[in-house]
Amino acid sequence: MALRIFQALPAYFGGKRRLLASIFRHVPSPSEAPVFIDAFLGGGSVSLYAKARGYQVRCNDVAERSVIVGRALIENDRYTLEYDDLVRLFMWTEGPGYAEKCLAPDVFPTRHARFLDAALANARKLEGPKRWLAFLLVVKYALGLRPMGNWGAKTIIHQMEDGDYEAMNPNYVKDVFARKIPYHPIGLANKIRESINRGVFANGQENSVHQGDVFEFLAGVEGDVAYFDPPYASTQSYERSSRPLDELLTGAPVDVSPNPFSTESPEKILPKLFEAAAHIPLWIISYGNKAIDLNGLIDLVRKHRPNVTGEEIHHVHCTGLASVESRQKNRELLVVGREK
């Protein structure tokens, strides 16, 4: 879906932007089902779309990187980032920060790391929605520095650091210039600022974001529809693939502990989720087909809901990096569980 508001979101691994029409086909209108729960907010595409459609959105994620999106764009419906705010993010700060000391030049070229450190230090001095908008700018900026969407391409980042474009693979050269990485950080940051502001709007509702484990969140939330997009079993965990970003935001090394949604089988972890969501009338579940097939997932849901339907959608998660084989095999499972 190519709405302008989506330009505000970070490029998120596993994001559901291209599946929104399929998902929302199953959601009754806001007059029939006013409260939409997004239990795994991620990059925010589902919540932002639900907000644009007029639902009252209650979303949750365990990760700071996702909660930033929620506070900046789902809860906030009025404040934008002005050019003056951006200039303040560039203000001098004491000494090198975590990005320059520990992440450059393997993850970020040094001059971009310096900007990220200054922007974070200055964002922490802000209050209210502007603080979250500034953090979102940092998140989008950091993600935009990944060569072809990949943190692991150290050699390319070193070549970016040295401006050694002759040695660089030509596909990466194109990518690096398309992202304007060789230019001054203010130009890059200003483009991001403008794109973030496109996602700020009011929908006449009090929308809210919660940061916590999904089981704790579900115990305290009421609503008409719940959308579940957990990490899929047998896929790379979000904690691992987002580690440099999480370290940047924390300003310290982070431990990647195993996430039960990635390590446990769907037959073990999903029933716990369904028990925790028993009080919500309608469920929509997104899942991958690596560890379970459509009929298997329908059978799991049927143990908790009498009326279950499902479909399989051809979908590649991370287009840039997916192999030809995974493109052919990947299916997105979409299952709907109703109370009657």
Q: What is the Rg, in whole angstroms, of the alpha carbon atoms belonging to the chain?
A: 20
Q: Which of 229, 241, 249, 289 binds ligand SAM (CB under 6 A)?
A: 229
For ligand SAM, the closer of residues 63 and 226 by Cβ is 63
Window of 44-52, 104-112, 159-167, 170-178 that interacts with ligand SAM by CB under 6 A:
44-52
Window of 38-46, 172-180, 272-280, 306-314 that interacts with ligand SAM by CB under 6 A:
38-46
Residue 14 binds to ligand SAM (criterion: CB under 6 A): yes
**Minimum CB–partner distance for residue 235 and ligand SAM (Å):** 9
For residues 74 and 58, give the distance between their C-alpha atoms in angstroms, rounded to a whole number.
Answer: 9
For ligand SAM, the closer of residues 44 and 223 by Cβ is 44
Window of 37-45, 198-206, 270-278, 293-301 that interacts with ligand SAM by CB under 6 A:
37-45
DSSP of 213-253? -HHHHHHH---SEEEE-PPPTTS--HHHHTHHHHHHHHTS-
Burial of residue 74 (number of CB atoms within 10 Å: 0-12, 13-18, 19+): buried
For residues 135 and 115, give the distance between their C-alpha atoms in angstroms, rounded to a whole number.
Answer: 13
Closest CB to ligand SAM: residue number? 42
Pairing mode of beta strands 56-61, 208-211: parallel
Chain residues 258-297 in contact with ligand SAM, contact rule CB under 6 A: 259, 261
**Minimum CB–partner distance for residue 328 and ligand SAM (Å):** 21
Q: Which of 6, 8, 16, 284 binds ligand SAM (CB under 6 A)?
A: 16
* Residue 233 Ramachandran class (φ > 0 left, ψ -120 to 50 alpha, else beta): beta
Could you tell me the CA-to-CA distances from 327 to 89, 213, 290, 314, 321 in Å, in that order?
A: 40, 31, 12, 9, 10
Residue 214 binds to ligand SAM (criterion: CB under 6 A): yes
Residue 317 binds to ligand SAM (criterion: CB under 6 A): no
Residue 46 binds to ligand SAM (criterion: CB under 6 A): yes
For ligand SAM, the closer of residues 14 and 223 by Cβ is 14
CB contact set of 224 (below 8 Å; sequence gap of 6+): 28, 32, 33, 34, 35, 36, 280, 281, 282
For residues 222 and 165, give the distance between their C-alpha atoms in angstroms, rounded to a whole number.
Answer: 54
Residue 238 binds to ligand SAM (criterion: CB under 6 A): yes
Binding site for ligand SAM (CB under 6 A): 12, 14-16, 40, 42-46, 61-63, 66, 213-214, 229-231, 238, 259, 261
